Structure 1
């Protein structure tokens, strides 16, 4: 295989890099609202996960705790609601971090393979993949029971699960051979120090935002930097379900 057979890729973290805010938490608010659950339940769920982080629990374990929230949920219903949520986000404007989205479009126009690498899961990410025209998706894949079609609340015993930290780098490293991607001529974007292993794999890297640890590392390696994503807008909520005729109010 000659050098001409290899293509560069642009690898993008998603949350607070390509998008403003964290997709899985924004979807959680939408999903709970679609079930008719009060807003404080989503707030409390997020606070519990934040408390785990403050207590020193690893991002891998807090990720597993998030996916336990999906236990018993229908895969089909989650996919449907995630599609509706994404359309509402895009319609409301302000979902994407524009400088990074512009960079993605430029890379794609230059013939790069666009790869999203995220700790989020496919139901939430696939509408985004289609919208921006990404070529590949590397993400967390929560377990779905094949009989009931519902989430078990667990992650499968597969490599790179959840897709966080060094798992991102390992997944990226395993992607090139079948897809003829040349890492030396590729570029990666990330906003958190946990993205550093992925950023270090490519010939160029771009830091997004102000993570002090990542900025120090970036200064050492000569990585470029884009501004921090602005604060996200309020999460769009689904239309309330109409009250059935004859129901007591």
Structure 2
């Protein structure tokens, strides 16, 4: 960016900027590379799905996902992320209306930020492809290059996204009233209400109700892809 930005645009990733749930799609790809059986993936998805449908907070389900990666080499995960992106991108990974919105913000000179409960192995190739200025995500804890199954901080979900957006707007002396946010899930309401120009993607009932009430713009969501409600 050659000049100081006057606005920022914050983008949720899963089911907003991309058409799938990155953590689940990545897990299947990575475990496939490791030779793990499809039954292992099915069981893992079912366990996460059960937690969500039982009302377990998304933050806890997010932590449960990273415990599935305990003992994985960070370098192997990063390699799987690059290969996963190379495999998925030609198959329609990006959601066209949101991808085009991000392009418009780039052309306008706005700061562009991805906010996600997913992690760098999945998100780094996505951020590079769209030339995002920042990727703010969940950070798994590592020891000697291996994931411990725990996190260095709370998951980048819910209020954590809004607080991250606030820090960035403050750091760049941006007026929140001038900034934009794009998201698809009710858990993203805090970040949407933290800016002056929220955009709802898809048909989440909580967000569509709020959009109708406050005349927020809406974009269509991607076709359903994956087995779980959005966990990132």
Q: 2:112 is matched with which residue?
A: 114
Q: 1:211 is matched with which residue?
A: 204
Rounded Cα–Cα distance in structure 1 between residues aligned with 2:176 and 2:86: 33
1:143 equivalenced with 2:141 (yes/no) = yes
Rounded Cα–Cα distance in structure 2 between residues aligned with 1:111 and 1:180: 15
Larger Rg: 1
Rounded Cα–Cα distance in structure 2 between residues aligned with 1:131 and 1:221: 33
Q: Secondary structure at the match of 2:181?
A: strand
Number of aligned pairs?
224
**Regions of 4+ moved over 6 Å:** none
Q: Which runs of 5+ in 1 are unaligned?
A: 234-249
Q: Secondary structure at the match of 2:118?
A: strand
Please say if residues 6 and 180 of structure 1, whose CA atoms lie closer than 8 Å, have aligned partners that are also in contact: no
Q: 1:243 is matched with which residue?
A: none
Rounded Cα–Cα distance in structure 2 between residues aligned with 1:70 and 1:185: 39
Rounded Cα–Cα distance in structure 1 between residues aligned with 2:69 and 2:147: 6
Within 5 Å, which residues of 2 pair with 1:223-234? 223-232=216-225
1:163 equivalenced with 2:156 (yes/no) = yes
Give the TM-score normalised by the residue count of structure 1: 0.87
Please say if residues 5 and 180 of structure 1, whose CA atoms lie closer than 8 Å, have aligned partners that are also in contact: no
Give the TM-score normalised by the residue count of structure 2: 0.93
User: Which of 125, 129, 132 matches 2:130?
Assistant: 132
**Distance verdict in 2 for CA 1:57–1:209, change over 3 Å:** same
1:177 equivalenced with 2:170 (yes/no) = yes
Rounded Cα–Cα distance in structure 2 between residues aligned with 1:5 and 1:63: 35
Rounded Cα–Cα distance in structure 1 between residues aligned with 2:139 and 2:40: 24
Structure 1 position 175, deviation (Å): 1.3
- Give CA deviations for 1:22-57 in whole Å, capped at 9, x if unaligned: 001000000110011111211210110000011111
Structure 1 position 181, deviation (Å): 3.0
Please say if residues 8 and 169 of structure 2, whose CA atoms lie closer than 8 Å, have aligned partners that are also in contact: no
- Give CA deviations for 1:117-169 in whole Å, capped at 9, x if unaligned: 00101111011110110001111001011xx210000012x3xx200011110
Structure 1 position 177, deviation (Å): 2.5
Q: Secondary structure at the match of 2:149?
A: coil
Q: Which runs of 5+ in 2 are unaligned?
A: 227-232
Rounded Cα–Cα distance in structure 2 between residues aligned with 1:11 and 1:181: 13
Please say if residues 6 and 182 of structure 1, whose CA atoms lie closer than 8 Å, have aligned partners that are also in contact: no
Q: Secondary structure at the match of 1:82?
A: helix
